[in-house]
Amino acid sequence: MLSARNLHVTFNAGTPIETRALRGMSLDIPAGQFVTVIGSNGAGKSTFLNAISGEQGVDEGAILLDGEDVTRQPVWTRARKVARVFQDPMAGTCENLTIEENMSLAFGRGQFRSLRSAVRAEMRDLFRERLAMLGLGLEGRLTDRIGLLSGGQRQAVSLLMAALRPSRILLLDEHTAALDPRTAQFVLELTARVVSEHRLTTMMVTHSMRQALDVGDRTVMLHQGRVVLDVQGEARRGLDVPDLLAMFERVRGETITDDTLLLG
């Protein structure tokens, strides 16, 4: 499970463009839960995700994965427990490498890398089997450069790669945002399938309120670097996009009032 406690991140501290991206952000995600995260631009979604992955250091607070404090661990050490799919389809794979080489890299996540051959016959069988579930015919193209694939195909492969090794948390960073609507739908359905098949603890950042309510078990809304809404179960099932939008507006209004009070 993931436990983020009182995270603070400030960019350009002490300068006129100081931005307090996270202001006491706390969130617990129990094992096996699929959480969707929404919030406007600058709400701290990406910063929060990067703080968990280790790409963004935190000024204050702690991040625990299965009880282990990983706050000070670099990205590559945390990778043992954290799997990730990036927003940019180009970011999650090495375009110069073949499909099987990319998958082999992901198959080595959290493993000791030695001078053994990187792609072996038994791996190829596993890769083919996983790729076949996409129904894109990629299982016959293991030695093709991954740069030859479309953005959607690369994103689908990235998802499979993230699930090749167990993780304590799977981070999805608006991973359908760069795709056309049909491909986005395909990748989203694939996400739901992969997550439930491997029972992955997942945190998905999204811009789409529709997506946030349609997939997963719980929705969290961020605003100004804090959790302002957290719904799951019965309460969440009854929610629709307009409700969420209304809550969003109200939250925004409240914080503005807060600020006014502070200024007063």
Partner 1 sequence: MSIYSVWGALEIGLIFGLVALGVLISFRILNFPDLTVDGSFPLGGATAAILIHHGMDPFLATACATLAAGLAGMVTGWLNVSLRIMDLLASILMMIALYSINLRVMDAPNVPLINDPTVFTVLQPEGLDDYVARPLILLALVVAVKLLLDWFFATQIGLAMRATGSNPRMARSQGIATGGMILLGMAISNALCGLAGALFAQSQGGADISMGIGTIVIGLAAVIVGESIMPSRRLVVATLAVVVGAVIYRFFIALALNADFIGLKAQDLNLVTAVLVTVALVIPLLKQRLRRKGA
What binding mask, one character per residue, do residues 187-226 give for partner 1 by CB under 8 A, x or -? ----------------------------------------
Name the residue with tokens 């053994």.
Answer: 116
Kindly list the strands in the beta sheet with 60-65, ordered across the sheet, starting from the edge strand earlier in the chain. 19-29, 2-11, 60-65, 68-69
Interface with partner 1 (CB under 8 A), residue from 113, 121, 181, 242 = 113
40 and 222 Cβ atoms separated by less than 8 Å: no
Distance of CA 177 to the CA centre of its chain: 12
> What is the number of other CB atoms lying within 10 angstroms of the CB of residue 257?
10
Query: Is the Cβ of residue 164 or residue 221 nearer to partner 1 in the bound state?
Result: 164
Query: Is the Cβ of residue 174 or residue 225 nearer to partner 1 in the bound state?
Result: 174
Query: Is the Cβ of residue 11 or residue 76 nearer to partner 1 in the bound state?
Result: 76
Footprint of partner 1 on 75-94 (CB under 8 A): 75-77, 79-80, 82, 84, 86, 91-94
CA 119 – CA 21 distance, rounded (Å): 41
Name the one range near partner 1 by CB under 8 A: 70-78, 126-134, 185-193, 195-203. 70-78
182 binds partner 1 (CB under 8 A): no
115 binds partner 1 (CB under 8 A): yes
230 binds partner 1 (CB under 8 A): no
Tokens of 152: 């959607």
Three-state SS at 13: coil
Interface with partner 1 (CB under 8 A), residue from 117, 122, 262, 264 = 117
Name the residue with tokens 């000791």.
Answer: 112
Smallest separation (angstroms) from partner 1 to the CB of 95: 7
User: Hey, what amino acid is at 126?
Assistant: L
219 and 212 Cβ atoms separated by less than 8 Å: yes
What binding mask, one character per residue, do residues 135-174 give for partner 1 by CB under 8 A, x or -? ----------x-----------------------------
Strand locations in 1-112 (E):
2-11, 19-29, 34-38, 60-65, 68-69, 82-85
Distance of CA 165 to the CA centre of its chain: 16
Provide the binding-site residues for partner 1, judged by CB under 8 A. Answer: 53, 55, 74-77, 79-80, 82, 84, 86, 91-97, 101, 104-106, 108-111, 113-119, 145
